[in-house]
A and B are shown apart, each in its own frame.
Chain A
């Protein structure tokens, strides 16, 4: 109700106003209780100087690492404990004994073992997350109704089926809840952990501000922490919706949120469009799942730089963020121009944009796209100021290419230059740019090592064009696939996939990449299968899986590639 919303806005405003007045009237000491006006000025200063961003990034990296190191084994072990009475009997006593110990109290012990510094901070988070999550996951598994296991058995399910089709999906809501719990806990913990022995990070900022009695800075830091926590919660909620849509559906039903009549035989359920949170709509509109296509090149550039001895995590985070915003802007702008030209309406498969779904108006999408470009450019400018003008030119080119990808009479995607643009700008350009941000230099070896990623992302685009060959041709969109015709387009797809693996091997052979990267060859079976399907199928419905799986291939290949470089870096550190 509008009145309620007004009231909820009113109370914090009144509180802040009272605080401001109290200080102005001298009732509260300005030093101990800096007024909101002063705090907001300090907050803006901290943000503008990049200090806040750096600190938050550093803290979040620690949280992320700790969460991964603790959470992943916890989920695995928790699952094991859930399904195996023997594992349960073995592990539960230990877990239950350590669980009640406040993990921050373990910090001194961990410092003794690992010394003060990054490792002990990450380890504390990892340990806390582990014990919290492992028991909760085990409980989630055991809560799965036994009847479902019987159903599976009655259909001839063996132990594998019992796990993959019952135990795991059944416990996923509980696992997600445990993850949210663990994440919240980790966020709380990082601030405390950084009080001791950190020289950067948001907790350090807060503590240091206390030590120099800059209370306004301290509060600014607290606000930053709160904001981050809120954002993380939102993200996890969306993740939960993506992973366990069915649990959210039943949740909504229980809370009476589904409209009356929605579950009767007459009306089909509302599905995703029933969730009308603004954040959710925008989140989906930017197609976040495509961000891996820009995240991987950035990570790759940084990994290569790391092997060459130059790695700055803060800059890496900023580069990722900037790339993400530009990518989001590109997606939104493409949506806008495609809707304008009526192209999206012709498509019957694949993800329609937010405009097509009626969730946002075209103007909103265009504005969002421009905003994305603006924020990405701002970050890019900062990076250029740190690393050099080269970044400025790369960033400018990326924005222009992103904008004119589907815009105007010479839209790159529709004159046949789409694959080239994507190959360059989501391949070598992005990798080299990321490398440059780290190492302030460009070498041909980096470009060579980046080729596989470029070819693969061009293959994704090409698979899209292959699927839509007929539609594009009819609509006058002269993509490369439409120009080459069916057999030519098939050949091009095969060539792109082939070039991916060839360039990978070439890079290793010429010494531009470590031999560890050959692990990417593990993805070859999937690639070959896709080539075969692309060469034989015609129907868009049959080619859609090729598109989806080429994207998957890109992700797997990219992840393996980055992982291999990271492993090479780890090896140089240990040597």
Chain B
């Protein structure tokens, strides 16, 4: 079997702050293949975001390892799409999309070309010079997507990127992501609350336990690509898979709720 792109072994992350230490991740192990779109679902507070942050290099692990195998020295290894877009309010759409490229030192002319292409790809050409405050939430999220795609990392980490959007915009953006990913396969780790979304997008769906997080189960998604996000829901296999995942998840959601109330 080819070498996995992401190897996580016995990852433990413990937050020490005021009061008792909090174990966010406890011995989490996971392997994600090259070019796989891996979706991670789990109850609130299970540590999904912590996992992504460790992979992004924004968080230190207490023990264990999380390794992303870099194959191409010319490309950045990891790029992140944050919850709530996180696009800079003081930069225009164009400047935001080109941000990662600018930090990498890509020459201006090339950068402009790439930015122009991606701004067109997300359908915001007429807003290229607009500031985020002038955009709706969905448009801002699109800019966040474009920014990560323009950066062209080997691995894309996405933390509930469509969570704050209305259902219709969500479907549109899922379609955008699918189209992009299916055109240019790269490894994606997509964290979400929504089982529906996980099945729609992913090659595999991993279920995380309540805190402290570890991987409880993984499911292969049987649908062929290219996928139509809207039509997928009608397939019988969809609701079967949904049910199976929910079986595992339901207990965890309950446990998480009980733990919070305690």
Q: Does B190 contact A (CB under 8 A)?
A: no
Q: Does A249 contact B (CB under 8 A)?
A: yes
**9-residue interface stretch from A75-83, A143-151, A527-535, A554-562:** A143-151
Tell whether A154 pairs with B80 under 8 Å between CB atoms, given A170-B90, A269-B130: yes
Q: Which of B94-112 contact A (CB under 8 A)?
A: 99-100, 103-104
Q: Does B127 contact A (CB under 8 A)?
A: yes
Decide if A161 touches B103 in the complex (CB within 8 Å): yes
Decide if B134 touches A258 in the complex (CB within 8 Å): yes
**9-residue interface stretch from B21-29, B32-40, B81-89, B234-242:** B81-89
Q: Does B79 contact A (CB under 8 A)?
A: yes
Decide if A169 touches B135 in the complex (CB within 8 Å): no
Decide if B134 touches A148 in the complex (CB within 8 Å): no
For B125, the closest partner residue in chain A by CB is: A268
Tell me which residues across on chain A come within 8 A of B151, comparing CB atoms. Answer: 155
Interface residues on A, range: 20 to 34
Decide if B58 touches A153 in the complex (CB within 8 Å): yes
CA distance A524 to B130 in the complex (A): 36
- A interface footprint on B116-149 (CB within 8 Å = 1, 0 otherwise): 0000000000110111111110110000000000
Decide if A155 touches B136 in the complex (CB within 8 Å): no
Pick the contact of A165 from B76, B89, B99, B132 — CB < 8 Å?
Answer: B99
Q: Does B201 contact A (CB under 8 A)?
A: no
Q: Does B41 contact A (CB under 8 A)?
A: no
Q: Does A262 contact B (CB under 8 A)?
A: yes
B16 to chain A, nearest CB (A): 19
Q: Does B249 contact A (CB under 8 A)?
A: no
- A interface footprint on B172-197 (CB within 8 Å = 1, 0 otherwise): 00000000000000000000000000
Tell me which residues across on chain B come within 8 A of A268, comparing CB atoms. Answer: 126-127, 130
Decide if A253 touches B76 in the complex (CB within 8 Å): no
CA distance A263 to B88 in the complex (A): 18
Q: Does A250 contact B (CB under 8 A)?
A: yes
B130 to chain A, nearest CB (A): 5
Tell whether A154 pairs with B56 under 8 Å between CB atoms, given A147-B82, A246-B89: yes
Number of A-B contacts (CB under 8 A): 82
- B interface footprint on A334-361 (CB within 8 Å = 1, 0 otherwise): 0000000000000000000000000000
Interface size on B, residues (CB 8 A): 32
Residue of B129, B133, B136, B151 ringed by the most chain A CB atoms within 10 A: B133
Q: Does B78 contact A (CB under 8 A)?
A: yes
Pick the contact of B139 from A245, A262, A265 — CB < 8 Å?
Answer: A265
CA distance A265 to B137 in the complex (A): 11
Tell me which residues across on chain B come within 8 A of A444, comparing CB atoms. Answer: none
B15 to chain A, nearest CB (A): 16
CA distance A157 to B100 in the complex (A): 9
Decide if A154 touches B78 in the complex (CB within 8 Å): yes
Decide if A245 touches B135 in the complex (CB within 8 Å): no
Tell me which residues across on chain B come within 8 A of A253, comparing CB atoms. Answer: 133-134
Mostly, the A contact residues are helix
Tell whether A269 pairs with B127 under 8 Å between CB atoms, given A154-B56, A155-B103, A264-B136: yes
Decide if B88 touches A165 in the complex (CB within 8 Å): yes
Q: Which of B34-82 contact A (CB under 8 A)?
A: 56-58, 76, 78-80, 82
CA distance A515 to B25 in the complex (A): 67
Tell me which residues across on chain A come within 8 A of B57, comparing CB atoms. Answer: 153-154
Pick the contact of B88 from A154, A166, A245 — CB < 8 Å?
Answer: A166
For B84, the closest partner residue in chain A by CB is: A147
Decide if B136 touches A263 in the complex (CB within 8 Å): yes
- B interface footprint on A212-245 (CB within 8 Å = 1, 0 otherwise): 0000000000000000000000000000000011
Q: Does A271 contact B (CB under 8 A)?
A: yes
Tell me which residues across on chain A come within 8 A of B89, comparing CB atoms. Answer: 170, 246-247, 250
B147 to chain A, nearest CB (A): 8
CA distance A16 to B86 in the complex (A): 54
Tell whether A151 pairs with B76 under 8 Å between CB atoms, given A157-B103, A165-B99, A264-B136: no
Tell whether A172 pairs with B139 under 8 Å between CB atoms, given A156-B103, A165-B99, A269-B134: no
CA distance A156 to B148 in the complex (A): 12
Decide if A246 touches B135 in the complex (CB within 8 Å): no
CA distance A387 to B8 in the complex (A): 82
Tell me which residues across on chain B come within 8 A of A245, comparing CB atoms. Answer: 131
Pick the contact of B135 from A157, A165, A244, A263 — CB < 8 Å?
Answer: A263
CA distance A157 to B86 in the complex (A): 15
B49 to chain A, nearest CB (A): 11
CA distance A253 to B134 in the complex (A): 7
Pick the contact of B133 from A150, A153, A250, A271 — CB < 8 Å?
Answer: A250
Tell me which residues across on chain B come within 8 A of A152, comparing CB atoms. Answer: 103
- B interface footprint on A258-281 (CB within 8 Å = 1, 0 otherwise): 100011110011010000000000
Tell me which residues across on chain B come within 8 A of A264, comparing CB atoms. Answer: 136
CA distance A68 to B49 in the complex (A): 46
CA distance A263 to B80 in the complex (A): 26
Decide if A148 touches B58 in the complex (CB within 8 Å): no
Tell me which residues across on chain A come within 8 A of B132, comparing CB atoms. Answer: 246
CA distance A403 to B130 in the complex (A): 38
Q: Which of A119-161 contact B (CB under 8 A)?
A: 147-148, 150-157, 161
- B interface footprint on A88-115 (CB within 8 Å = 1, 0 otherwise): 0000000000000000000000000000
CA distance A487 to B49 in the complex (A): 60
Decide if A156 touches B86 in the complex (CB within 8 Å): no
- B interface footprint on A171-213 (CB within 8 Å = 1, 0 otherwise): 0100000000000000000000000000000000000000000
Residue of B76, B89, B129, B136 ringed by the most chain A CB atoms within 10 A: B89
Tell me which residues across on chain B come within 8 A of A249, comparing CB atoms. Answer: 131, 133-134
For A157, the closest partner residue in chain B by CB is: B103
A274 to chain B, nearest CB (A): 10
Tell me which residues across on chain B come within 8 A of A246, comparing CB atoms. Answer: 89-92, 131-133
B53 to chain A, nearest CB (A): 8
CA distance A540 to B78 in the complex (A): 39
For A262, the closest partner residue in chain B by CB is: B134
Pick the contact of A148 from B86, B103, B135 — CB < 8 Å?
Answer: B86
Tell me which residues across on chain B come within 8 A of A262, comparing CB atoms. Answer: 134
For A267, the closest partner residue in chain B by CB is: B126
Tell me which residues across on chain A come within 8 A of B90, comparing CB atoms. Answer: 169-170, 172, 244, 246-247
A304 to chain B, nearest CB (A): 40
Tell me which residues across on chain A come within 8 A of B84, comparing CB atoms. Answer: 147
A65 to chain B, nearest CB (A): 30
Tell me which residues across on chain B come within 8 A of A263, comparing CB atoms. Answer: 134-136
B125 to chain A, nearest CB (A): 10
Pick the contact of B76 from A156, A161, A172 — CB < 8 Å?
Answer: A156
Tell me which residues across on chain B come within 8 A of A157, comparing CB atoms. Answer: 103
CA distance A265 to B138 in the complex (A): 9
For B144, the closest partner residue in chain A by CB is: A151
Pick the contact of B86 from A151, A165, A169, A247 — CB < 8 Å?
Answer: A151
For B131, the closest partner residue in chain A by CB is: A246
Tell me which residues across on chain A come within 8 A of B78, comparing CB atoms. Answer: 154
CA distance A427 to B215 in the complex (A): 75
In the complex, 29 of the A-B residue pairs with CB atoms within 8 angstroms, ordered by the A residue number, are: A150-B82, A150-B86, A152-B103, A154-B78, A154-B80, A155-B79, A156-B76, A156-B100, A156-B103, A156-B104, A161-B103, A165-B99, A169-B90, A169-B91, A170-B89, A244-B90, A246-B133, A249-B133, A250-B131, A250-B133, A263-B134, A263-B136, A268-B126, A268-B127, A268-B130, A269-B127, A269-B130, A269-B131, A269-B134
**8 further A-B pairs in the complex, CB-CB below 8 A; given A246-B92, A265-B139:** A150-B82, A153-B58, A154-B56, A156-B103, A170-B88, A246-B131, A268-B126, A268-B127
- Please report A residues at the B interface, Cβ cutoff 8 Å: 147-148, 150-157, 161, 165-166, 169-170, 172, 244-247, 249-250, 253, 258, 262-265, 268-269, 271
